[in-house]
Amino acid sequence: MLDYVTSYLKSDATPGAAGNMLWAFIYIMLIFLGLSIAVIAMNWLERKVLAHMQVRLGPMRVGPHGLLQPIADAIKLLIKEDIMPTEADKIVFWVAPLIVVTAAFTTFIVVPFGPQHAVTDMNIGILFMLGVSSLGVLGIVMAGWASNSHYPLIGALRSSAQMVSYEIAMGLAVVSAVLMTSLHGAGIYATGGGSGMGTLSMIEIVRAQQEQQTWFAFKFFPLGLIAMFVFGVAMVAETNRAPFDLPEAESELTAGFHTEYSGFRWSLFFLAEYSAMLAVSSILVTLWLGGWLRPFPNLLTGPTWDLVFSLFPGLTFLALAGLTFFSAARMPKMRYFRVQTMGLAGFGALLGLIGLILFIPPVRDRVQDIYWFVAKVAVFMYLYIWYRGTFPRYRFDQLMKVGWKVLLPIGLGVLIVTAIVGVL
Amino acid sequence: MTDTTKYLSHLELGERDETFLDSNELIINMGPQHPATHGVLRVILKLDGEKVLGTECVIGYLHRGVEKIAENRTYAMFNPYVDRMDYVAAVSNGLGYCEAVEKLLNIEAPPRAKYIRVLLTELNRIASHQLWLGTHALDIGAITPLFYTFRDREEILKIFEKYCGARLTTHAFRIGGCQYETYDGFERDVKKFVDFVRPKIDEYEELLTTNRIWVERTKGVGVISDKDCIALGVTGPVLRASGVKWDIRKAQPYAAYSNMDFEIPTGQNGDTYDRYLVRMAEMRQSLRIISQAVEKIPEGPIMAKIPKVLKPPVGEIYHSIEAPKGELGYFIVSDGSTQPYRVRVRPPSFVNLQALDLMVRGQLVADVIAVIGTLDIVLGEVDR
Amino acid sequence: MVAKLKRQYGSGIEPLTYLGQNYMAVDRSLLPELLQVLRDEEQFDYCVDITAVHYPKREKQFDVVWILYSFPRNERIRVKTTIADGESIPSATSIWATTNWLEREVFDMFGIQFDGHPDLKRILLPDGWKGHPLRKDYGIIQQDKEWVQINLGIESGQ
């Protein structure tokens, strides 16, 4: 039994590939846990970052700097009365959030956090991911329909139209990235290495970038970047976030497809939205930004650089801990704030401890892939918040125009040019 | 539950083609509790998909019978009530009422009072436009300008608070002048505010004027021609954005506006974007007026000699001012007693709101929101 | 201008001035034409407001007032007519579109009927309300108790 557990740690494959069900289960649980933490953190960060962009403080009351706010919100949502409209289609109303949240979570099965840190590696990974994530629209349409009310219905219609249209642009961008896995190009576009075999597997795509010694964002410059841009825009639309948040346009449709949802069901939609954001950002990072690869793997080589880059996870946590201690030191020196200050310091100590653990060599080696992956995804999460603070909302027809008349031709063009450049 | 269809009696359908597709009209009830109707406006929309076939406004949820109250109060007692109509531009309301009653009494406020009135009214105009900008941008989906404008509006409210103790419903003026002399440092505060807010207005413009999505959302949306504006009695920035250079401050100057040097910004297309630009320019013009007024403000009494008991002779008067939202008029009939026989308020928001149907026909649902925002209505004034 | 109109319509028009503001008291029978003439020939293209005043002691109880403004002339004028309770008055909606809601409000508040109005119904008060609040015989705390009880489910709105 113990052998069954430890044998996997020595292998280099994903639990799925190694056929180790126990570790697959552990990984699923870890991803579940990590996603929940990420959504909670994202919730807090979104409020804080948005608040600071908007010259306000954001949550400050529940816990130091509002750190416990997401937890308070979660408790509030869980103990809220569960309201179902009388005229609603009960079964569909009940199933809809489950579909949305399942679709959003399932995609993470194939997300490669590292060469062996994925639940499984499918040879159709990227296809699986796009397919499952677009199942979410089914849940949204069901939610809009089942609510038996005008606003949710319009929100759902908008949502389905929007998601379906942007999926095309998204798919085209993805195909051009997949093409890059097998194409080497010539002249200034020549890239070295690689087997020359095309692949749809998420892990193999990252490996291809490693072997060709370039992130696909920079391959066939500027084709890779354009494809990434197309995907980057489409993924915002796909997840119904500002400036494409029409399905839940607050000022028009009050809350769009989830107007009639409350309490726990609503929180499932919330969870699904943030998971979907994480999922599509993961796709982007995997396809164009080298997934788990650290920056400059081919320029800054050698054991010294390896060591330097492997220290990053620990250093990040130490920096966060330092920031927390700094905040704790700046808390008002009043009796009333004593608990909060201590809590903040304790949180800092926890972060510092994690940082120190991350310096231990075996942990360090296993964790740094995950670290780079998460760091890259975090950049896109920040972008999501930034968009929301800056852009007004598109109108429905303009949204469709952007999808069909701008992104689709660009995506198609990039695909064709990539193919031509690749076989030259 | 109210049957929404019964309100649709006069919703004619525009040019409707009798195809099978057209049978799927959707009637949506927007409001009275809706985040983007700026209070308790209820709009019934007839939709074909996302396209608006017709609208009908149901108003009156905030009706308090201000005009009836006026008939049962003395002239001075009614003064605070007018602040509760357009509560974001209470100073303008007070100015209009005080001047109307002064006209009826055939007295005139002393010059210093007039200048104070101009100062506060223009400050209030900026505050009103800032609030409009924030909420309008929020409706269109830009959430950030709201906080910027509220931050800067706060400075105006601070000046009001220091001047008369109230921030929103100021009751700043009295019949015959102003009750309060300006506090020490009033001029300094106002000058400081002008210097403070001038770059801030540029900041709002930076966020929006050239923002692609903002331009796409507002250009060509809710177009109303100058002829339609006049026929519908639409006044204020909406009229000016359609190209009519008309401002009561210039056309029939009141208070101390005849001594002020300022321009009337106008637009050409009469769309939401022009109305936005006109209001932004108006804020700048208001700053210009404020800095002139604060330089020129004369010394002297702030209250005219008025009798203890206000008993205007029998007669009637109409007086109107340029409120931030348009022409705000007071029609007062006196029967020689201490109470007005009839006070009629000509509310700009009420009349402007009538244009909503014309402006949104054939456009999309999202445009209804944009147009409601750009009309700059305050339901307290619509319903009175 | 008023002289010309007086020549045209004779004794039906009485030009008046109070505190520098011009208004004319006109006979009800002249009404739709006179307003039309004011708009078309005298360029009063903007109807600022329509309102009414109630004088319960008079035989003709209501004053109906049109406040007009001319953009080209930069001039205001008020047209005033008197009608008895129950008498109707021609609507000006075909002359100035803005009078639609204004007439509805006058109807709502005073119960004056406007002939030819496309959709004359209450605007500020709820549809089923009884009484017209701005009449002098309507008390300030008066309400339509029945309506309040049925629709709001409370004893009284006071």
pLDDT in tens, C53-92: 888 888 888 888 888 888 888 888 888 888 888 788 888 8
CA distance B353 to chain A (A): 18
The residues, any chain, with a CB within 8 Å of residue B43's CB and separated by 6 or more, are B30, B31, B37, B55, B56, B57, B58, B356, B368, B372
Peptide bond just before B348 cis, omega within 30 deg: no
Quote the pLDDT of residue A253. 64
pLDDT single digits (tens) B103-142: 888 888 888 888 888 888 999 999 999 999 888 888 888 8
Mean pLDDT for A105-124 is 82
The residues, any chain, with a CB within 8 Å of residue C86's CB and separated by 6 or more, are none
Instruction: List alpha helices for A109-149, DSSP H.
Output: 125-146
Position C77, amino acid: I
User: For residue C98, which residues of chain B lie inside 8 Å, CB to CB?
Assistant: 231-234, 351, 354
CA distance B128 to chain C (A): 23
Quote the pLDDT of residue C47. 87
Quote the pLDDT of residue B2. 36
User: For residue B137, which residues of chain A lie inside 8 Å, CB to CB?
Assistant: 392
pLDDT single digits (tens) A208-223: 787 777 787 777 778 8
Round to whole Å and give the CA distance between A144 and A210: 44
Position B158, amino acid: K
Round to whole Å and give the CA distance between A25 and A28: 5
Handedness of CA C96, B372, B49, B34 (dihedral sign): negative
Point out the residue among B213, B365, B366 whose CB comes nearest to the CB of A391.
B213
Interchain contact B364–A (C-beta under 8 A): yes
Mean pLDDT for B16-30 is 58
- Check pLDDT > 70 for residue A91: yes
A vs C contact (3+ beta-carbon pairs below 8 A):
no
Interchain contact C125–B (C-beta under 8 A): yes
Q: Three-state DSSP class for A408? A: helix
Checking ipTM against 0.95, whether it exceeds it is: no
- Which of B8, B81, B318, B335 would you mutate first to test chain C, the one with the most C CBs within 10 A? B318
Instruction: Grade residue B6 by pLDDT with cuts at 50, 70 and 90.
Output: very low
**List of long-range contacts for A297-300, beta carbons under 8 Å, 24+ apart:** A297/A210, A297/A213, A298/A213
Which chains are within 8 Å of A by 3+ CB pairs?
Answer: B
Quote the pLDDT of residue C2. 66
Quote the pLDDT of residue A195. 59
Interchain contact B61–C (C-beta under 8 A): no
pLDDT single digits (tens) B156-177: 898 888 888 888 888 888 888 8
How high does pLDDT run on average in chain C?
Answer: 82
Taking CB atoms and an 8 Å limit, are B35 and A254 in contact across chains? yes
- Check pLDDT > 50 for residue B323: yes
Taking CB atoms and an 8 Å limit, are B317 and C125 in contact across chains? no
Quote the pLDDT of residue A248. 66
Quote the pLDDT of residue B1. 31
CA distance B281 to chain A (A): 21
Are C120 and C139 within 8 A, CB to CB?
no
Instruction: Grade residue B17 by pLDDT with cuts at 50, 70 and 90.
Output: very low
CA distance A259 to chain B (A): 12
DSSP-derived pairing of the beta strands B173-174 and B315-323: unpaired
CA distance B115 to chain A (A): 34
Quote the pLDDT of residue A1. 64
Mean pLDDT for C8-22 is 75
The residues, any chain, with a CB within 8 Å of residue B37's CB and separated by 6 or more, are B30, B31, B43, B372
User: For residue B148, which residues of chain A lie inside 8 Å, CB to CB?
Assistant: 54-55
- Check pLDDT > 70 for residue A412: yes
Mean pLDDT for A402-413 is 89
User: For residue A252, which residues of chain B lie inside 8 Å, CB to CB?
Assistant: 36, 365-366, 368-369
> What are the two backbone dihedrals, phi and then psi, of residue C37, each rounded to the nearest 5 degrees?
-65, -40
- Check pLDDT > 70 for residue B9: no
Mean pLDDT for B343-363 is 86
Interchain contact C41–B (C-beta under 8 A): no
Round to whole Å and give the CA distance between A323 and A65: 12
Q: Three-state DSSP class for C26? A: strand
